[in-house]
Amino acid sequence: MSTYKYATLFLARNISVNQTRTFFSNLKCLDVTINRENGVAYVLMKHPPVNTLNMQLISELSLTLSNLEKSKCQGMILSSIFDKVFCSGLDLNELLKPKPERVKGYFSTFQELVIQLYGSSFPTVAAMTGHSPAGGCVLGMCCEYRVMKKNSQIGIPGSRMGIALPRYIVNLMSSTIGLRNAELMLTKGKILNTDEALKVGLIDEIANDRTDAIRKAEDFLKEYEMIAPLARGITKRIIRRSIIEDVKMNGAADLENFVSVIMLPEVQEKLDMYMYNLKNRKRD
């Protein structure tokens, strides 16, 4: 059975049809369904083969978040229809031999998505059905809780790719796992397995499979059913304000800096090699 059919059946098994409504039917890279009873939105990435964050997927995620804010949704589970991969991160093709204006637009759209997801008023959980490298890890860190399927990998290999990360990514990692662990992880470009990620606090729970991941995500959201959404949302915003303000203050300068580094011939060479190795590595 195709992964897509499986995921659709999975949702149907968990929520009966009259309890759900499709939120948007014209999205290419996402399935968005809301459970009418508890107001939880299921946002499933479905951009084959590995949910690479191309401009379309980033834009659809951003549009969906805006609409969920307006719809007073009670919580969101961000997941993937693919069993092996949650999200493979930013599109490496956008980083290779980039045109300055295009690459600026691309990264600024991603930056806006990060702020939107990180600052959303409703509770958010990442049900990571598989590997979550780089931008996939960033999406996870923007959520309030992370459940990851066993035998998956997560981390940000920026240093190994020759990319110096912007401040907001470093800040996000530090706020998730602490300054010391973030320094060790990010300077080495370390990728962790599920047990290591749990130990360091990069994820909150390990799931056996997709169903278990979604169930655990739902259990986390259930804990908020008796909590006043307004008070919760305001508290979340206060806790998250410093990172958001920092991006508002320094995001444009960070972006300029990041783009000028990306364009350097030695960085391009390193990225080219990274892409070559990715395409030619032995698959498991």
Ligand X SMILES: CCCCCCCC/C=C\CC(=O)SCCNC(=O)CCNC(=O)[C@H](O)C(C)(C)COP(=O)(O)OP(=O)(O)OC[C@H]1O[C@@H](n2cnc3c(N)ncnc32)[C@H](O)[C@@H]1OP(=O)(O)O
Site residues, ligand X (CB under 6 A): 49-50, 52, 84-85, 88-93, 107, 110-111, 131, 133-135, 138, 156-158, 165-166, 169, 254-255, 258, 278-279, 283
State the nearest-atom distance from the C-beta of 167 to ligand X, in Å: 8
Q: What's the burial of 246, exposed, middle or buried (CB within 10 Å: 0-12/13-18/19+)?
A: middle
3-state secondary structure of 15: coil
Min CB(277)–ligand X separation in Å: 10
Q: Which residue has the tokens 């995921």?
A: 7
CB of 270 to ligand X, least distance (A): 12
* Minimum separation from the CB atom of position 220 to ligand X (A): 25
Residues 91 and 49: beta-carbon distance below 8 Å: no
User: How many CB atoms are located within 10 Å of the residue 190 CB?
Assistant: 17
Which of residues 86 and 122 has its CB atom nearest to ligand X in the complex? Answer: 86
Q: Are 58 and 110 in contact (CB under 8 A)?
A: yes
If the CB atoms of residues 85 and 214 are measured against ligand X, the closer one turns out to be: 85
Residue closest to 41 by CA, chosen among 62, 20, 12, 70:
20
Between CA 107 and CA 91 the distance in angstroms is 11
Peptide bond into 49 cis (omega under 30): yes
Q: How far is the CB of 144 from ligand X (least distance, A)?
A: 20
Q: How far is the CB of 90 from ligand X (least distance, A)?
A: 3
When the beta carbons of 35 and 111 are compared against ligand X, the nearer one is 111
Question: For the residues of 188-253, what is the DSSP string, one character each?
Answer: HT-EEEHHHHHHHTS-SEEESSHHHHHHHHHHHHHTTTTS-HHHHHHHHHHHHHHHHHHHHHHHHH
CA-to-CA distance for 155 and 186, rounded, in angstroms? Answer: 8
3-class DSSP state of 55:
helix
Return the number of the residue (180 or 279) whose C-beta is nearest ligand X: 279
Q: Which is nearer to ligand X, 220 or 274 (CB)?
A: 274
State which residue, 41 or 95, has the beta carbon closest to ligand X.
Answer: 95
| Closest to ligand X by CB, 111 or 171 | 111
- The least distance separating ligand X from the CB of residue 10, rounded to whole angstroms, comes to 20
